[in-house]
Structure 1
Amino acid sequence: MTKSRHIDALEKGEISFSRDRSDPRLKLEQYIAMQVKSKRTEQGLKITDVARIAGLSQGMVSKIENAQVSTSLDTLSRLCDAIGLPISQLFSNYDRPTGSAQMTKSGEGMEVVRRGTEKGHTYQLLNTQRGKKSSYEPFLITMDDASEVFPTFSHPGQEFIYILKGQILYRHGNQLYDMGPGDSLAFDAEVPHGPEELREVPLQLLSFILYDDR
């Protein structure tokens, strides 16, 4: 629903607060409760203050904030006026999709062993994502042995690397790239690639490998 349709439906009493439990979005009364309480506390108002300004009982305001009651448009309008929240703004984010991001805290990525991994050369898998058409793997790679001899890699997909610290001479096919902090490189991962020379250690880089599953 758009904002105007939400308000019109409230006025006509057409909105049902019983949403399918499988729906990841908040129920409407839960969403209203969250928005009202957040705005009230942001304004530094107590429930008693809001009740007095809006001409409502403290019990009603408390029930609305705890998603224990549905309310009429008139009551909701008075409550929004009391806390300085335009009623049109109240519904502005209601139909926004629920986020499903995956966060990995610093140092909590899973250390993995890949071909060519030696002492002083670690891969930390930060996350993994599998989709219908593509999947990706992001790695935090650390190298601190400048004398290490590295193999070349070749695998399906597209790869993107971003240098965080250190200096490296990186090979892709017959081309060599002198890279430092802030430099990035995107390439076809089926072409042989890998570190040619570590010029300043410790070296740390982010590597994103995108696989096409279509």
Structure 2
Amino acid sequence: MDDINDPQLKLKQYIAIKVKRKRVEQGLKITDVARIAGLSQGMISKIENAQVSTSLETLSKLCDVIGLPISQLFSDYDRPTGGAQLTRAGEGMEVVRRGTEIGHTYQLLSYHRGKKKSYEPFLITMDDASEVFPTFSHPGQEFIYLLEGQILYRHGNHLYEMSPGDSLSFDAEIPHGPERLVEVPIKLLSIIHYDDEH
């Protein structure tokens, strides 16, 4: 009974852990807390051992003595546990895509996305200004964000001049891709979002 983020903990157990932890942190004995709060030692012991459901009034007295605001007492209760994937700089999984053969480097930044592939985030690096690039066409919506360099980017019949900080969102089924690398090296973040049926 020591993980306050465990969603299976009952409220009594949660309160017991938080109250006892705070009392011990403050270096207070149950006898001292009981005397100052005007509660019996037995009651405090039962609260700390999750053996009793207590009133908010009693809990408030107890929390005042140990320096634990009621709002803080419940701040972690019932919070989703989470579980995000952190990919450190330079640690994305290098993958082969259609652009690899013409000198693009693709780093897949997330690869634990649940049962269905709903999106793919890539860090794309291009550094050959003389290269001629084909266009790409694939399912989904794509979002690109230019981090470094300057590029002339084509989507269908439109050309977009992009500098660092610029972004572009488009239907990825329509042919798209770099028209001209204006200033290299170029680094861009590309996120492809797939429809539900993908």
Say whether 1:25 aligns with 2:4: no
Q: Which residue of 1 aligns with 2:118?
A: 135
The 1:201–1:53 alpha-carbon spacing in structure 2 relative to 1, beyond 3 Å, is farther
Paired with 1:178 and 1:192, the residues of 2 have a C-alpha distance of 17
Root-mean-square deviation over aligned CA pairs: 3.2
Say whether 1:54 aligns with 2:37: no
Say whether 1:145 aligns with 2:128: yes
Q: Which residue of 1 aligns with 2:179?
A: 196
Question: Which amino acid is the alignment partner of residue 114 of structure 1?
Answer: R
TM-score w.r.t. the length of structure 1 is 0.70
Q: 1:91 aligns with which of 74, 81, 90?
A: 74
Q: Which residue of 2 aligns with 1:187?
A: 170
Any idea what the Cα deviations from partners look like across 1:51-81, whole Å, max 9, x if unmatched? 4652387xx78x94xxxx2154267444421
Moved over 6 A (4+): none
The 1:119–1:152 alpha-carbon spacing in structure 2 relative to 1, beyond 3 Å, is closer
Paired with 2:69 and 2:149, the residues of 1 have a C-alpha distance of 52
Say whether 1:157 aligns with 2:140: yes
Structure 1 gap ranges (5+): 1-16, 18-23
Paired with 2:146 and 2:17, the residues of 1 have a C-alpha distance of 42
Count of residues in Structure 1 that have an aligned counterpart in Structure 2: 180
Paired residues of 1:114 and 1:123 also in contact (CA < 8 A):
yes
Paired with 1:207 and 1:172, the residues of 2 have a C-alpha distance of 14
Structure 2 gap ranges (5+): 36-40
Using the TM superposition, give the Cα deviation of residue 46 of structure 1 relative to its aligned residue in structure 2, in angstroms: 3.6
The 1:98–1:176 alpha-carbon spacing in structure 2 relative to 1, beyond 3 Å, is same
Paired with 1:167 and 1:35, the residues of 2 have a C-alpha distance of 54
The 1:197–1:30 alpha-carbon spacing in structure 2 relative to 1, beyond 3 Å, is farther
The 1:183–1:52 alpha-carbon spacing in structure 2 relative to 1, beyond 3 Å, is farther
Paired residues of 2:140 and 2:171 also in contact (CA < 8 A):
yes
